[in-house]
Amino acid sequence: MMKKVFLLAIIALGFFAISCDDDDNTTTTSELTLNLTGLEDLGSEYVYEGWIIVDGSPVSSGTFTSVSFPQTFIINSEQLASATTFVLSIEPSVDNDPAPAATKILVGDFSGNSATVSTAIVGDFSNSSGKYILATPTDGSDSNENSGIWFLDLSTGSPAIGLDLPVLDDGWRYEGWAVIDGTPVTSGTFTAIDEADLFDNFSSTMNPGPPFPGEDYLMNAPSGLTFPTDLAGGTAVISIEPYPDNSPAPFTLKPLVGAIAIDAIDHTTYDMSLNISNLPAGSVSR
């Protein structure tokens, strides 16, 4: 009888020890809430992914595709409490890389239990500016001069840099646009403001364009449009695009915009307006 009591006591103690171990190993979780504005749908090939920076290393807080907020994610409590910064990146929807991509769009440091996030990680555009002219230098004639846009400054009589923009990190490129009859049409992507951009499919092949971003809309018009055209009454835009870019439309980051006057005159320098009030922003709370 004593042996049986002794054995039951040992079993009970073992069960108690196991129970205590399980309690000690229980991971507690907390909520991280995102309340963001200005983001756009990325399509089926890309997702947004949040990251908290813990001891200098990124820890994923989860991916999402909806741009309706607030959204809440469940995070390890200890890691969340130790996080110093929140970062939002754009990632491939099928992603074998556990690290954040270069396309980081929002960032903010925690102060207490919240962080105000902005596009500061992309660049500081508060002092950016832009100028452009209408001209078609690639066709070698003086006709259809309002059918091309070049982001340069001709106010002194000689072509000069027309854009003042910060250098972008890997994962981003600038892209010029002319909005023609309500349709945004690219003038090409670029990283340098004093070099030709990476696109000339609409320009004539008779002459090279100037060494600045821009395009002559003279040939190979997209469906629904006719080239040559008249850009007067349209809009000039400089956007910031994720690279690689899976969309033919301008991305949500558009730091410079200029309404092209209905009576715009070719070879005249026009100013663009700063458009940073609509850049993505928001808050993150834990």
Residue 167 CA from chain centroid, whole number: 14
Q: The whole model's pTM is what?
A: 0.88
Q: What is the pLDDT of residues 154-171, one digit of tens each?
A: 999 999 999 999 999 999
pLDDT at residue 5, as a whole number: 40
φ/ψ (deg, to 5) at 121: -70, -25
- β-pairing, 163-164 vs 104-111, is unpaired
pLDDT at residue 4, as a whole number: 41
Compute the distance between CA of residue 60 and CA of residue 171 in angstroms, rounded to an integer.
19
pLDDT at residue 26, as a whole number: 78
SS3 content of the chain, % helix, strand, coil (to 5): 15, 40, 50
pLDDT at residue 106, as a whole number: 98
Question: What are the residue ranges in the chain where pLDDT is below 50?
Answer: 1-23
